[in-house]
Amino acid sequence: MSKARVMSGMRTTERIHLGNYFGALKNWVRLQDETDYECFFGAMDWHALTDAFGRANEINEVAREVIADWIAYGINPEKSVIFIQSQVPQHLEINMILSNITPFGWLDRVTTWKDAKEELQAKDAHNLGRFGYPVLQTADILAYQGTHVPVGRDQVPHLELSREIVRRFNRIYKAKLPEMEALLTEAPVLPGLDGRKMSKSYGNHIPLTESAKKVKKLCNKMLTDPKRETREDPGEPEDCQAVYKFHKLVSSAEDLSWVEEGCRSAGIGCGDCKARLAENLNKIMEEPREIKKELLNNPKNLDDIIQDGCARARKEANETLRMMRDAMGFKSFDYPGGRS
Ligand code: TRP
Ligand code: SF4
């Protein structure tokens, strides 16, 4: 039996925001702190390049900042292995091995490809890299022999394909690579300021280390229950487009009843409600804001942390790669400069 291992990642197309924290990162921190699983978390810059190839020069900086955000919000680089995908070349070698045993039809059926095809075509990103996205993702997980993969629902089709690829590898080469399973994060989808899903492309997001003043301003912009046209109109929190949904994620039971009663009786105004929300959000963001500032002010320190994580990752990934090549009977060799 192989060890239980958590493996996950985020593509580093954009800087991350509170939606990514509540949707994924918070759960990673919980897994790291509350289970015995060894955890591997990757900043997936090759995956970012599949459709953001035109902004290649931004992606390195985004990857560093994303990692700073992870650490600021509780990922401990001593407990968990944190790395940048492109600094672990073994991912690409495993990707190539898997590409050869993944039938074209399997990939063509993946819904994240099928549904995005036209959009991708329109922005000229209808390319082989994007088509093979789930194969590289399988390589990411296999590199660390990940068994538990915390992801959102949208990633389930990828994980199913990953399992099929692993089964095929094991069958062809009589190997025993672990079949990974999705650990579904049932986090509520955090709305953006305008009530739609929080996303940088909608411009409705709150950056993870936004200043306290700016957080207050952003809270003021959030949508409320449209029935409350004036301060005197009572409202219904369940019909509140954004503010109440945030309260449910970050506020105490006491604050929640204050909101619910005050809203329904028009005892409080939306302004009061938003101010309380801003306070509560800022309580959560205060410490991470400081930690991230420290990290970005000491680039050498952050780079050392990342380099150390990448070295640990290369060591693990190299062992898996060697094992895979042995199973295949495809000779391993060390190239000049070594692999790790
Ligand atoms: N595709 C994932 C996403 O968009 C990111 C990702 C890349 C990933 N490689 C991974 C997630 C490996 C889990 C495991 O969210
Ligand atoms: Fe939303 Fe709060 Fe206003 Fe009610 S009082 S509508 S919950 S912002």
Q: How does pLDDT run across 118-127, given as a tens digit for each residue?
A: 999 998 889 9
3-state secondary structure 212-245: HHHHHHHHHHCCCCCCCCCCCCCCCHHHCCCHHH
Any ligand 1 atom below 6 A from CB of 90: no
Question: Which residue among 7, 11, 39, 159 has the greatest number of ligand 1 atoms within 8 angstroms of its CB, and so is best to mutate?
Answer: 11
* CA 280 to centroid of ligand 2, rounded, Å: 15
pTM score = 0.94
Contacts of 154 by beta carbon, 8 Å cutoff, 6+ apart: 112
User: How many other C-beta atoms can be found within 10 angstroms of the C-beta atom of residue 150?
Assistant: 21
* CA 32 to centroid of ligand 1, rounded, Å: 18
pLDDT given at position 324: 96
Q: Looking at the CA of 180, name the nearest ligand.
A: 1
**Inter-residue contact 130 to 158 (CB < 8 Å):** no
With cut-offs at 50, 70 and 90, classify the pLDDT of residue 78: very high
pLDDT given at position 201: 86
With cut-offs at 50, 70 and 90, classify the pLDDT of residue 2: low
Contacts of 309 by beta carbon, 8 Å cutoff, 6+ apart: 77, 81, 82, 83
CA pair distance 261, 271, nearest whole angstrom: 15
pLDDT given at position 186: 77
Q: Looking at the CA of 263, name the nearest ligand.
A: 2
Q: What is the DSSP letter of 327?
A: H
Q: Which of 84, 69, 80, 96 is nearest to 37 (CA)?
A: 80
- The whole-angstrom distance between residue 251's C-alpha and the CA centroid of its chain comes to 24
Q: Looking at the CA of 255, name the nearest ligand.
A: 2
Q: Order of strands, edge to edge, in the sheet holding 81-84?
A: 81-84, 38-44, 5-11, 148-151, 181-184
Residue type, 230: T
Q: Residue 19: is its pLDDT beyond 80?
A: yes
With cut-offs at 50, 70 and 90, classify the pLDDT of residue 130: very high
Question: Which residue among 6, 10, 27 has the greatest number of ligand 1 atoms within 8 angstroms of its CB, and so is best to mutate?
Answer: 10
Domains by residue range for the chain, with CATH:
5-190+299-339 (3.40.50.620), 209-295 (1.10.240.10)
pLDDT given at position 320: 96
CA pair distance 81, 305, nearest whole angstrom: 10
Q: What does the DSSP assignment read for 194-211? A: TSSBP-GGGT---BTT--
Any ligand 2 atom below 6 A from CB of 277: no
pLDDT given at position 331: 82
Any ligand 1 atom below 6 A from CB of 147: no
User: How many other C-beta atoms can be found within 10 angstroms of the C-beta atom of residue 171?
Assistant: 10
Q: Residue 245: is its pLDDT beyond 80?
A: yes
Any ligand 1 atom below 6 A from CB of 25: no
**Inter-residue contact 317 to 91 (CB < 8 Å):** yes
HSE-CB of 292 using CA atoms within 13 angstroms: 20
Q: Report which protein residue has its CA nearest ligand 1's atom 13.
A: 8
**Inter-residue contact 13 to 51 (CB < 8 Å):** yes
Of 5-14, 72-81, 186-195, 269-278, which gets the smallest average pLDDT?
186-195
Q: Residue 1: is its pLDDT beyond 60?
A: no
Q: Which of 112, 107, 56, 110 is nearest to 86 (CA)?
A: 56
Q: Looking at the CA of 256, name the nearest ligand.
A: 2
Residue 23 in tokens: 């949707």
* CA 21 to centroid of ligand 2, rounded, Å: 23
Any ligand 1 atom below 6 A from CB of 143: no
With cut-offs at 50, 70 and 90, classify the pLDDT of residue 153: confident
CA pair distance 273, 290, nearest whole angstrom: 26
Helix axes 156-173, 299-328, angle to 10 degrees: 40
**Inter-residue contact 302 to 64 (CB < 8 Å):** yes
Q: Which of 196, 186, 148 is nearest to 40 (CA)?
A: 148
Kindly give the residue spans of alpha helices, DSSP state H, lying in the chain: 18-20, 26-34, 45-52, 56-72, 90-99, 104-109, 111-114, 117-122, 128-131, 133-143, 156-173, 212-221, 243-250, 253-264, 270-297, 299-328
